[in-house]
Chains A and B, each alone.
Chain A
Amino acid sequence: MNAKMDASDACDLRFGQVGIACVRVRRPDAAALCEELERRVRAAPQLFSRAAVVLDLSHLINLPDDGIVDALLEAVRSAGMLPVGLAYGTSATEALAQRMGLPLIAKFRAAYEPADGGSIAPLTPSATPAAEPKPAPAPVREPVLAPSTGITGAQHHDGTVRSGQQIYARDRDLVVTGTIANAAEVIADGSIHIYGGLKGRAMAGAQGDVKARIFVSDFRAELVAIAGHYRVFEQIPKDLEGQSVQCWLEGDKLLIARL
């Protein structure tokens, strides 16, 4: 009993928030990664030399095998940064992290599970991905244009998207045949086609594609956004309510018109 009392003051275990850089890997190429990171470290040694970083593999179409991940981690190390864990991810990433003996820095794993076999990346309306790792992401709404990975074809979702659900089609269009309920979100890097009602939110061009559009059969949206430009509808304009509409960007203006 006494021994137990003595040991209890050996340490304090606390959770805290720290700024940490995230290396978002866009292709599983260790040599290129090393070269790019070395360039960053040289450019801002105070910021990046021996900086703790987490490796984000969620932008890769397929999760690379252990050997490649090892090579990527080694690339980060040889560039002068210190990888401390894997970021985000699905249950597969979690298993990988376990095999690697690395912690998984994942707050909301469920949010990243692929909805239909495709891979899905973290995204919220206000946390649009930036192209380079930053120690502390500023609250920017405007996303940075990312190079496309060249996937074609749209992602399909059949049926209703329920309140609180989030569907994200990365690098492509999203087609929904059901209704998006209030406080549900559909997001696509391309355009969004909704053949039911839109009562929640739709965000197209999530990575900055200003040519993306949103098409809705029955318009009652709370919010629509294209490439970070958004409109909130406290009142739905009478001439649009329940109508088939499309939304597109003209310059900085988000326009909506009946089809």
Chain B
Amino acid sequence: MSAEIIVVTSGKGGVGKTTTSASLATGLAMSGKKVAVIDFDVGLRNLDLIMGCERRVVYDFVNVVNGEATIKQSLIKDKRYDNLYVLAASQTRDKDALTQEGVEKVLDDLSKEEFEYVICDSPAGIEKGAHLAMYFADHAVVVVNPEVSSVRDSDRILGLLASKTRRAERGDGAITQHLLLTRYNPARVEQGEMLSVKDVEEILGINVVGVIPESENVLAASNSGVPVILDENSLAGQAYRDTVARILGETRPMRFLDAPKKGFFQRVFGG
């Protein structure tokens, strides 16, 4: 039984790939799946910070690719879920340290360790790092912000996913593509400053699997090394839980698409 490989990618930087990878991996682990999440951003590693395991990195992804450490030595077990593991990127190397054969071997090793899901956190861009992150994927989560530049970059990525992956090259059937809209601010959509869910779906021609509202909790969670999905009180956390459920096949209605109506006190006192 081989692991389902999910790449989290976007093309554009700063849209929430790593935040999504961390929450998606944690969400799948919360559902009882055995999950590994790999940081492909060699040279600019961040996932370890978001997952809160930055002080436990001894060996990293590049060490495994180079055969300097085994996969078991390099996987960092999550503090909260013992079926969740992190494979950190190397900060002292660059993207050229990864090879296709090396990445394939790591993914095969993870399958042998009976992982059910492997989340590949892609670096921004469409160069080697991003290419290797998506190449072996079975599913893709394309993270997009409601703005034109992000949508165009996602369009490019969707094209690459359909052509530059192993599944595409072998003709094994297309990668399942999920579009995830993050940093969504319904108030600004109503003002016409941001693209709406419908706009984005129309431009890209696929439906969204989730909409994550813009939330202060995301930054706070990132800074404290807790994936935001664990914050039950935040709208973003709840939206990520819905998204994970949908990726696992559940049907759930979209929430948080409308701007909250201001109450009497907020109207009087501002807020």
Chain A residues near B (Cβ < 8 Å): 15-17, 107-108, 110-111, 124-127, 136-137, 139, 163-166, 182-185, 222-223, 230, 232-235
Contact = CB atoms under 8 A, between A and B. Distances in A.
B56 A126 contact: no
A222 B102 contact: no
A235 B45 CA distance: 20
Interface in B45-68: 45, 54-59, 63, 66-68
A99 to B, nearest CB: 24
7 contacts: A15-B100, A108-B94, A139-B69, A164-B43, A182-B54, A232-B55, A235-B55
Nearest to B43: A164
Contacts of B127: none
Contacts of B67: 136-137, 139
Contacts of A139: 67-70, 73
The 9 closest A-B CB pairs, nearest first, are: A183-B91, A126-B68, A164-B91, A166-B92, A127-B68, A234-B55, A126-B63, A17-B101, A126-B69
Interface string B56-94: 111100010011111001000000000000000001111
B196 to A, nearest CB: 39
A127 B66 contact: yes
B57 A15 contact: no
A126 B101 contact: no
B204 interface: no
A15 B70 contact: no
Nearest to A221: B55
B30 interface: no
A120 B63 CA distance: 20
Nearest to B93: A108
Contacts of B69: 126, 139
Contact of A108 (B59, B70, B96): B96
A49 B67 CA distance: 25
A111 B57 contact: no
A163 B63 contact: no
Contacts of A166: 92
A163 B68 CA distance: 22
Contacts of A125: 58-59
B101 A16 contact: yes
